[in-house]
Structures are given as C-alpha cells and as structure tokens.
Amino acid sequence: MTMITAHSGSDGTPENSLEFVRFFSNKPIEAIEVDVRYDSETRQLILRHDEIRGQADTLLSDVFVFMQGTDLLLNCDLKEPGLEMRIKKLAEEYHLWAQILLSGTVDVYYLSKWPDHILMNIENGLEQVLSWNQWTEQTVLDAANYLVARGATRLNLPYQCYTEPLIAFAQKHHIGLSLWTVNELQALSYLEEQNVYNVTTRNAWKYFQVRQEVVQ
C-alpha cells in the first residue's frame, strides 16, 4: 500500500502552518510533511522552509500538541543539519516518536540507528552538490548504492528520477521509494498502482476524494 503524504501547504492551506496541520488532522490522510529549522534566538524548533525569518513561525511543539490522540504521521523535512536528536527528544516528550519520519539533511550516521524513521534523501549520498535536474541515472544509482550500504531502507527523491534502473535497484535491495512532489492526479494513481512506498503531493485531499469517487 502506498502512503500518501500531504506536502506542506497541500490543497491550498498555508505552508508550515497550524492551519495546514489542523486541516489534515481529521482527514483520512496517513502523513503530512513540514519543514523544520532551529531558531537559535528562541532555542525552538520551528516550521520554516527558508533561512529568512518569518513573522510568526509555527513551533514544532505546537504541531505535536495537535497530533496527540491521532494516528497521523509527521514527516519532518530537515532544512539544516544537526536537528535529528533535537526532534527525537521533543517528540519523545509528547510520546510521538513512533509517528515521526525524518527526511532532508539527515546524517547517514542515523540510518543504522533509526531505519524505520528515515526517508533518506538521495542527495545525501552524492559526492558533490548538484541540483536534482543535473542528476543522471548513474548519479542516482551511485548515491543509492552508497546509502543502502550504510543502512538506508527508504530513499527519498524527485519523482522525475523514478526510472526503470532505479525500480530494478529498489526491488533487488528491497528498498522503499519515497517520491516528491507529485501533484498530477493521474501520476499519483499510477505510482499507487506501482506500490511505491510513499508519494508526497500538494493535492493530497483532492486525490483522496477522487479516489473515493472511483471506488464508489
């Protein structure tokens, strides 16, 4: 079964906001994704995509308060290194660590420690910094080999990299593929038919409604 993750700001909600979390907290969506940084001034984990300070950044702790009593999974996409233990400690305070997934700038050190909590970004296995549209099939496969050798069980990458060689690699090594950001409903349906482990989309609720109409 494919997990559908609502990208921050999915279905027209404000990105990295409690409104976004609130919208999906009572929806039959398995997971949501937010961007996480550490504010050195307030010493708080906050929801923010870019380094530029927001006027009213949402606290990750406030998201955790909202999540209590739900089965919702939260994909924390780390936008800077060194946040892994801070997030784990905070999640444990709210008894939510079991519902946390980490992606983004996750250090390979944690692959062997928390394999079930990490969607490992493929760029973390690259020898040099390249934007994803500069990757070749071999670039992706080399990075995948590097990460799998260090304990990765789920790889997170742009859906444009979902190619036959990568599919074969994932099947051979029993690796789950997590693809972002897939907004076309037809593409979402196709990837679900392919049993892709996770797909992140900005149309999560819209897709769920369409899927329910087809089932009915």
156-174: pLDDT as tens digits:
999 999 999 999 999 999 9
Are 119 and 19 part of one and the same domain? no
Are 86 and 5 part of one and the same domain? yes
Share of the chain above pLDDT 70, in %: 98
Are 190 and 83 part of one and the same domain? yes
Q: In whole angstroms, how large is the CA radius of gyration of the chain? A: 17
What b/e sequence results for 33-50 when a residue is b if at least 16 CB atoms lie within 10 Å of its CB, and e otherwise? bbbbbbeeeeebbbbbbe
Write down the pLDDT at residue 212.
81
Are 89 and 10 part of one and the same domain? yes
Are 21 and 95 part of one and the same domain? yes
Write down the pLDDT at residue 55.
65
Are 46 and 3 part of one and the same domain? yes
Share of the chain above pLDDT 90, in %: 89
Judged against a pLDDT cut of 80, whether residue 38 lies above it is answered with yes
Burial of residue 206, with CB atoms counted within 10 A of its CB: 0-12 exposed, 13-18 middle, 19 or more buried = middle
**DSSP codes joined into one string, 114-161:** -GGGB-EEGGGG-SS---GGG--HHHHHHHHHHHHHTT-SEEEEEGGG
Q: Which of 85, 71, 3, 101 has the alpha carbon at shortest distance from 38?
A: 85
Write down the pLDDT at residue 130.
84
Give the structural domain span for 157. 109-174
Are 79 and 139 part of one and the same domain? no
Write down the pLDDT at residue 132.
87
H or E segment to which residue 176 belongs: strand 176-180
More confident: 213 or 216: 213
Are 195 and 88 part of one and the same domain? yes
pLDDT single digits (tens) 20-32: 999 999 899 999 9
pTM of the predicted protein model: 0.96
Are 7 and 29 part of one and the same domain? yes
Write down the pLDDT at residue 127.
87
Task: Give me the number of domains the chain comprises.
Answer: 2
Are 15 and 57 part of one and the same domain? yes
- Helix axes of 164-173 and 137-149: crossing angle, nearest 10 degrees: 10
Write down the pLDDT at residue 28.
92
Which CATH number goes with the domain that contains 200? Answer: 3.20.20.190
SS3 state at 214: helix
pLDDT single digits (tens) 41-84: 999 999 999 987 766 799 999 999 999 999 999 999 999 999 99
Write down the pLDDT at residue 195.
97
Are 92 and 120 part of one and the same domain? no
